[in-house]
Structure 1
Amino acid sequence: MDDKFKFNDDDDGGGGNEWLATYGDLVTLLLCFFILLYSMSSVDSHKFKAIKASLSDIGVAEQKESLNPSVGDSISKIDTAQATKDMNNIYKQVKKVVDEKGLKSQVTISNRDDGILLQFQDEFLFDIGKAVLKDNSRSLLRQIASILREYNKQVKIEGHTDNIPIKNSEYKSNWELSTARAISVVRLFTDELPEGERLDAKKFEVSGYGEHHPVALNDSEEGRHKNRRIEIFIKKDRSK
């Protein structure tokens, strides 16, 4: 047989490498697919802030975690750090005012995890059985109002009494007296200061507990003295 008609087992037919082109196209498509997924899952801080602002008006509270946990965690940490810094500053400023006026025995200040608690002995603020603020207490409360105005925090004011029933025609029980005293303090902050110094009434809540939330036993004058008090609680901001 002529050599030109012999079959060559090593002959690849000239088209055996075409699968490489198809494989290359597949790899390229997969690469584009994963790049697209990555771009969809990544939200930079500027995009996240824009999304957060747009959703805040409709009450979406969890967008920072659901859209990008790392960005949300960072913002939460910043909020918490700022709130702690605010509380420390308020505590230092109020304590300085109280110390300078020599009122440590009349006003107690506690810097707690959830906020700052100020406890005022009743005789510093009011006469016995009355709910009208004494003149010498207004100066201190005005300075505290100035500090509160700078930080714009939520504030709760509570009135408390001892367990001795009140005996006058103005108040029928310790409920009324404790509530009236708390209202007198909040009215000073929101209504009675000069117009430019008043605090936003929306930031306040008021409660009167009578003798029902004592901090000491009422079986001695010392204990009853501790229980007759006004508390101003400045709330620490909660991260959202």
Structure 2
Amino acid sequence: MKGKKQHHEEHVDETWLLPYSDMMTLLLALFIVMFAMSKVDNQRAQQLSEQFNSILSGGTAVLQSGGTNGSTIKIDEAIKLEEAGSVAEQDKMLKVKNELEKDIKNDGYADKMQVELNGEGLTIKIQDSVAFKSGDSDILNQFTPVLVKISNMIRDLDNEIRISGHTDNVPIKNAKFRSNWDLSYMRASNVMNFMVDKCKIAQNKFSIQAYGEFRPKYDNSTEAGRAKNRSVDILIVRKYTSNPKK
């Protein structure tokens, strides 16, 4: 008896499924992105246009908003608003700088305090000898009126305030401070607490930085340089990235 012939089934080539599934995945992703873009509201569109300000210098390009009113936000108009805000901020900081420099000179601190206005913001540099005893972090009573004046001038500015402590490179280690870092931190902290508690500046504006000896601006090999490096700096940070010439 002859054996039955075996029938071999032919397998269908299914290699096409892989690129097909990839294509469907990409289409799905595209539809999701398009749907999300259609739901962007006017406030988000305004935020996006402001973000483009830093890289676009002008022109008539527009950002289309998919909100209910279909409004069009012009990038060049957003840039003009940014520039207007920057000019207004510059004017306020320049006014504070001029008033501070006048008061510092009248109070006899011209050689111990400096005020600088640059692209980062307005910096008030206070050398330690006028505000603290050597190796201590408590604010001297005779210096508190100066801090009150500074606080009164900057209280209404809608800007972040960073207070940083700096020392020279002479090591310190005593019952109160293990290092220059500790000393620089406590000095910055005490200045901040005074401005918050006594001068009523909103505490959410503040941040503290303690650099110890590691950000010197002057030569630590001389006594004059070390004296200038020992300081507490109050920085009123710019909100606007542009820096108008003035």
**Inter-partner Cα distance in structure 2 for 1:69 and 1:60:** 9
2:134 to 116, 128, 137: 128
Pairing 1:176–2:178 present:
no
Matched, 1:222 2:224: yes
Give the Cα–Cα distance (whole angstroms) in 1 for the partners of residues 224 and 92 of structure 2.
34
Residues 108 and 225 (structure 1), Cα distance of their counterparts in 2 relative to 1, 3 Å cut? same
Q: What does residue 199 of structure 1 align with? A: 201
Whether 2:67 is the aligned partner of 1:62: answer no
* Superposition TM-score, scaled by structure 1 size: 0.71
1:124 maps to a residue whose letter is: V
* Partner residue in 2 for 1:186: 192
Matched residue count: 182
The answer (yes or no) to whether the contact 2:49–2:75 under 8 Å persists in 1 is no
Taking the TM superposition and a 5 Å limit, the aligned residue runs for 1:1-150 are 55-56=42-43, 61-63=47-49, 66=63, 67-150=73-156
- Higher Cα Rg, which structure: 1
2:211 to 196, 206, 209: 209
Rounded Cα–Cα distance in structure 1 between residues aligned with 2:163 and 2:179: 19
TM-score, L = length of structure 2: 0.69
Structure 1, gaps ≥5 residues long? 1-53
C-alpha displacement of 1:113: 2.4
Matched position secondary structure for 2:156? helix
User: Whole-Å Cα distance in 1 between the matches of residues 183 and 203 of structure 2?
Assistant: 21
Instruction: Indicate the residue corresponding to 2:12 in structure 1.
Output: none
Deviation at 1:73, TM superposition (A): 2.1
For residues 138 and 45 of structure 2, what CA distance do their matches in structure 1 show? 42
Tell me how far 1:70 sits from its aligned partner. 2.9
Taking a change above 3 Å as real, the CA distance of residues 82 and 228 of structure 1, as seen in their structure-2 partners, is: same
RMSD: 1.9
**Separation in structure 1 between the aligned mates of residue 214 and residue 109 of structure 2, nearest angstrom:** 26
Q: Distance in 1 between matches of 2:92 and 2:192?
A: 22
Gap runs ≥5 in structure 2: 1-40, 51-61, 64-72
